[in-house]
Structure 1
């Protein structure tokens, strides 16, 4: 028989229809199918918890920060920079330090991409108010954008100025020879004009604030204000630095950088 045949179809009155609907709703409530109304908490006064991650799914973690760098120092690293050479002095008055190169991934954060490199800084340690001739290295976060040296460019992506003016005769504070210290250098953008040769002597903050602060080849003793790395590590740094990553140097004693 066709499904739309009127034969044997019961006639339901309006009153009967209301009774049927009421019975159906009562059945749903008894069966627990009706959930709480908007704004109403379930029994027990607790709000349902958020869905748990699927079994085996990795836990969400915040991007990694550079170890030992506190919030004040971290805030000075530009958000556009994804490469940082971190130089931590052994103490505020020490001339020995350690350098590590880090790179930042947008998802996972900062990660060391070099081994710790032994380094030297200024004879009298560190200062947040560097002055010409104070024999202290400036504390802060500075851009690294220009390189140079007495020897040919080893293949860095930074602009490189080769010149015989990168010559350092004489001896250091411990009597060590300085010859070859400027075979390769990277200018630290402290009181200098960015985008120029490290040899540029223009000092935007004035001569009293010092200048000519570089990363250069280590000569086995403290510097006047610069940071020095062993020759092989200096070469590794030059080959790693990439202007597209807007590299910076984060430099200072461990206590200050941790703030």
Structure 2
């Protein structure tokens, strides 16, 4: 993928990322048969273990959230907040296979300082709940091998300190734009706001700086690189994000 460079000014609003994880359980193995009586009993058969099938739906997502995921999507990043007013989240990538939805790597992260909102406004310090497409990426560091269009730019600068006094340097080394109030197919730095500036914007998945965000999702740098390399536009990736009770509706 060739890097996309833009001259667009850096977005003013900070970003936050969250995640969740899970694994399929294994079924109980069948016990080996005892040897037949007699001096020369037949050899026993080794126990057979088979993994349980992958779930047909993603765990933790209720009917309403599930209905919002496009039928063509084969990759869903699930960002599960600890509570409506909590800045703590878990982020996990699920991929649809022939056997069901398989959970990939995941880990802890942060969302906005005041938690979540179903009507995000600029400056409310809450992350928007919902299901959003993931179409564009970028960062201060060179192309990391993602299939998403990637804008390598020094415009992804982050300075100062976060809400808990943590340095923000490096937060935008890698970012994935969440298509909330933005124009898909443009650099994450693009300032277009289809819902208007009052509804906020610049909601990204980015490198976790160790504290709450203004509205984005933050995850560990290694997790960020892994996510960038996994996401594939041909699999129509989306993010389902919100606190656990909201996602379960």
Q: TM-score range with shorter-chain normalisation?
A: 0.7 to 0.9
| Higher helix residue share | 1
- Are positions 1:93 and 2:85 aligned together? yes
The CA deviation at 1:62 is: 10
The CA deviation at 1:108 is: 2.5
- Report the TM-score when normalising by structure 1: 0.75
Supply the distance in 2 between the matched residues of 1:62 and 1:159 (Cα, whole angstroms).
31
By relative contact order (CA 8 Å, sep 6+), the higher-ranking structure is 2
Aligned residues: 198
Q: Is the CA contact 2:54–2:102 (under 8 Å) kept in the aligned structure 1?
A: no
Distance 1:185 1:62, change over 3 A: closer
- 1:139-178 map, 5 Å: 139-178=129-168
The CA deviation at 1:63 is: 6.0
Q: Is the CA contact 2:74–2:95 (under 8 Å) kept in the aligned structure 1?
A: yes
Q: Which runs of 4+ in 1 moved over 2 A?
A: none
Can you give the 5+ residue segments of structure 2 that lack an aligned partner in the other structure? 1-52
Q: Is the CA contact 2:55–2:102 (under 8 Å) kept in the aligned structure 1?
A: no
Select 2:100's aligned residue among 64, 89, 109: 109
Task: Pick the structure with greater CA Rg.
Answer: 1
- Alignment-derived partner of residue 255 in structure 1: 245
**1:203-246 deviation line (CA, Å, top 9, x unaligned):** 00000110000000000000000001101000110011011100
- Alignment-derived partner of residue 73 in structure 1: 65
- 1:36-55 map, 5 Å: none
Q: Is the CA contact 1:64–1:111 (under 8 Å) kept in the aligned structure 2?
A: no
Can you give the 5+ residue segments of structure 1 that lack an aligned partner in the other structure? 1-60
SS of 2:136's partner is: strand
Select 1:223's aligned residue among 206, 213, 216: 213
The CA deviation at 1:109 is: 2.3
* CA RMSD, 1 decimal: 1.4
- Report the TM-score when normalising by structure 2: 0.78
